[in-house]
A and B are shown apart, each in its own frame.
Chain A
Amino acid sequence: MVEIEFARTYAAPRELVWDAWTDPDQMAQWWGPRGVTTPRESIEVDLRPGGRIRFEMVDDATGARYPNSGTVLEVDPPSRLVYADDGFPDGTGKGTATVTFTAVDERTTTLRVHIVADFDETVRAGAERGWGSQLDKLAGYLAPA
């Protein structure tokens, strides 16, 4: 198990950030890395404990589709959402994400995504896919924080 946290502060009220994260109409407008689209019709969000989350990311360049899914564990609008991510289709990325929305003031929100990832699965899947030795990344990784 390895923990990773991402944090951003946005110039937007907390409710707006919550809606952007949880409303399928809005998710379709931003979810995924650059070069990827998440079509509205692929998104289902059942926002209650035990509810399922599903969506498909589509690579704009190749059209390749990447289905993703998860299960809602805790939901407390507009401040906290916890879900278990089923991971990527290649078997990596399984884990639990805790998303917190903190109002800095009425127009400013800090979003934190805290992920506890199941690296065991990730390594196994990575080994199957033949991720090779990448010494170029070693120097960056070893640089003292």
Chain B
Amino acid sequence: MTPVATPDPLSVTFGALADPTRRAILARLAESDASVNELAALVPAISLQAVSKHLQVLERAGLVTRGRVSRQRPAHLRAEPIAEATAWLARYRRFYEESLDRLGEHLSRLQGS
């Protein structure tokens, strides 16, 4: 597993995720590996070339690997970058959401309501 050569891997992850077609591709790959043809069927009126470009972006972000054996080179989801992003975000969100809830309760107590 070669790290992506960038100073900020998570920004690459989030950048790759910031596109509805790429998210649809990843959601499909979460079920099983799929060929370019199968992925193109997900989105109406998308060309094979467009799907290939999206796959290249996902590959560069380390989110997808491509098979080397079969001619169809099925795409395979690599979830680690997303797991790192979501695990941290979930912790961070919880920290702030709960703190802000408690601030609201504190402000209510202060005002005797």
Q: Which DSSP category, helix, strand, loop or mixed, fits chain B's interface?
A: helix
Chain A: minimal CB distance from B90 (Å): 7
Q: Is the CB of A135 within 8 A of B106?
A: no
Q: Which of B50-58, B68-76, B79-87 contacts A (4 or more CB under 8 A)?
A: B79-87
| A60: interface (CB < 8 Å) | no
Could you tell me how many residues of chain A have their Cβ less than 8 Å away from some Cβ of chain B? 42
Q: Is the CB of B111 within 8 A of A131?
A: no
A137-B90 Cα distance, complex, nearest whole Å: 9
Chain A: minimal CB distance from B49 (Å): 23
Q: Which residue of B lies closest to A19 (CB)?
A: B110
| A127: interface (CB < 8 Å) | yes
Q: Is the CB of A32 within 8 A of B99?
A: yes
Inter-chain contact total with CB atoms closer than 8 Å: 128
Q: Which of A8-16, A39-47, A75-83 contacts B (4 or more CB under 8 A)?
A: A8-16
Q: Of B10, B27, B79, B90, which is within 8 A of A135 by CB?
A: B79
Q: Of A4, A21, A120, A137, which is within 8 A of B9 by CB?
A: A120
Q: Which of B10-32 contact A (CB under 8 A)?
A: 10-11, 14, 17, 20, 23, 26-27, 30
Spell out B's residues near A (CB within 8 Å): 7-11, 14, 17, 20, 23, 26-27, 30, 79-80, 82-108, 110-111, 113
Q: A34-B101, A138-B79, A142-B82 are in contact. List 16 more A-B contacts (CB 8 A).
A: A1-B11, A4-B96, A16-B107, A21-B103, A30-B105, A33-B99, A33-B102, A111-B100, A119-B8, A119-B11, A120-B9, A122-B10, A133-B80, A139-B30, A140-B86, A144-B23
User: Would you give 11 A-B contacts (Cβ < 8 Å), ordered by A?
Assistant: A2-B14, A8-B100, A16-B107, A20-B106, A30-B99, A119-B9, A120-B9, A134-B86, A137-B87, A141-B17, A142-B30
